[in-house]
Structure 1
Amino acid sequence: MATPATPPLPGDILPTYRRVADRFAVLRTTALFERPMLDALERATPGRDLLDLGCGTGRPLAQHLQRRGFRLTGVDGAAPMLTHYRRNVPGARTCCRDMRGLALRQRFHALLAWNSFFHLDPTAQSRMFPVFAAHLRPGGVLVFSSGPARGEAYGAVDGAPVYHASHDPLCYRSMLTRAGFRVLMFRPEDPALDRHSWWLCRRT
């Protein structure tokens, strides 16, 4: 996407998603192109308690995970998204929080930050890895999407521009190691996942 005349800022993300939540719920594809990633997560995880961070409406990812027997806790900073999540993933716990500085005082078998973490600016991303570690049990798995290389980019949600950022993959690897993670898989621009770049890691 070309750079908008007024580029969006990282701080615009939550207000934008609050505003477009109802349209997003309609427009978000339910084709589940993410199935290979979800299968990899399921194979790697030692249990079924999963933290869905930046969970959105829960459709279709959380719905699929719930059908697979996962016990879900959805966290999102946009309350209207959680209204849809509760409807789409009945029985799931929900929490309206900004992921930055999250402290739920609970540890999970798996943590999924799909198409959410990459909306943070690089500095905020760097600070998230200890947060991820604090919410995972030893041996738990982390899945997140990023960019394929260092840089900033702009996408759109229902016509509203949104900010994305990424570190260099070597930088991610370093930060993951320092936070106590072992990288199991990194797939840059994965053709099986609509060219999304994603990571599968284990807390050591």
Structure 2
Amino acid sequence: MSVPPDRIVDLYERHAQAFDRERGRSLFERGWLDRFRTIAGAGAAILDVGCGSGEPIARYLIAAGHDVTGVDSAKTMIAICRKRFPEQSWVVADMRGLALGRRFGGILAWDSFFHLAQPDQRAMFAIFAAHAAEGCALMFTSGPRAGEAIGSYQGEALYHASLDPDEYRALLRANGFDVVDHVAEDAACGGHTIWLARSAGSGHADR
């Protein structure tokens, strides 16, 4: 593709304030988030990978009683989160090299994971597994089919990629996750393609 995915961090860093202003707060994701929370368990520690400015998803999880650790590559996004929710943990890091040394009851990668190139997406499943407690809920959004696409944000090209659904299933299975549900282009959730899975691993959550 003509727009390298590595440029995305710079794009979101430069437009962090605009992103925060424009990010919808209607929480159309609520139904899926509630299913995710049910699997994770009451009070489970949540890892939000690609947390953006923390609105509205992290806010919803925090209000529901979860401790949230948010990770984003854009420093300004994390600065907004720290100011907004100072009692939570916020980390500037590239998800592709994430190694926090702890496990969580829930891992969320909503509208973030799909900005990675296909080889990087494949490698992320081992990273998810390394941070997953036994019974951990994992939820992420992808494209509906294998391919690459260039969208637009603030007049700039924005990279997206997806693997084939069968490959996602195989990667989840190989890394100790069972698929709970998968809906392609869910009309009730803004057309998002969503994966919800549960870890069968033996790691214990660090709450």
- Gaps of at least 5 residues in structure 1 are 1-5
Report the counterpart of residue 140 of structure 2 in structure 1.
Answer: 144
Task: Answer yes or no: is 1:66 the counterpart of 2:62.
Answer: yes
Aligned with 2:18 (options 19, 23, 41): 23
How many residue pairs are counted as aligned between the two chains? 199
How is 1:43-122 mapped onto 2 (pairs within 5 angstroms)?
43-46=38-41, 47-122=43-118
Q: Residues 80-129 of structure 1, C-alpha deviation per residue, up to 9 Å, x if partnerless?
A: 01111123333110110000021000100000000000000000000000
Task: Answer yes or no: is 1:188 the counterpart of 2:184.
Answer: yes
Q: Residues 21-76 of structure 1, C-alpha deviation per residue, up to 9 Å, x if partnerless?
A: 01111111111111111111111113520001011000000001110001000101
Q: SS where residue 100 of structure 1 aligns?
A: helix
Q: SS where residue 105 of structure 1 aligns?
A: coil
Quick one: distance in 2 between partners of 1:125 and 1:191? 25
Q: Report deviation, 1:157.
A: 2.3
Equivalent residues of 1:24, 1:157 under 8 A apart: no
Aligned with 1:33 (options 22, 28, 32): 28
Aligned with 2:157 (options 135, 157, 161): 161
Give the residue type in structure 2 aligned to 1:38: L
Give the residue type in structure 2 aligned to 1:15: D
Percent identity over the alignment? 43
Q: SS where residue 115 of structure 1 aligns?
A: coil
Report the counterpart of residue 132 of structure 1 in structure 2.
Answer: 128
- Gaps of at least 5 residues in structure 2 are 201-207
Equivalent residues of 1:9, 1:162 under 8 A apart: no
Name the TM-score, length of structure 2 as normaliser. Answer: 0.93
Quick one: distance in 2 between partners of 1:159 and 1:9? 16
Name the TM-score, length of structure 1 as normaliser. Answer: 0.94
Quick one: distance in 2 between partners of 1:122 and 1:65? 29
Quick one: distance in 1 between partners of 2:150 and 2:24? 19
Report the counterpart of residue 9 of structure 1 in structure 2.
Answer: 4
Give the residue type in structure 1 aligned to 2:87: G
Equivalent residues of 2:39, 2:135 under 8 A apart: no
Question: RMSD over aligned Cα, in angstroms?
Answer: 1.2
Give the residue type in structure 2 aligned to 1:154: I
Quick one: distance in 2 between partners of 1:157 and 1:63? 24
Equivalent residues of 2:107, 2:137 under 8 A apart: yes
Equivalent residues of 1:63, 1:88 under 8 A apart: no
Q: Which runs of 4+ in 1 moved over 3 A?
A: none
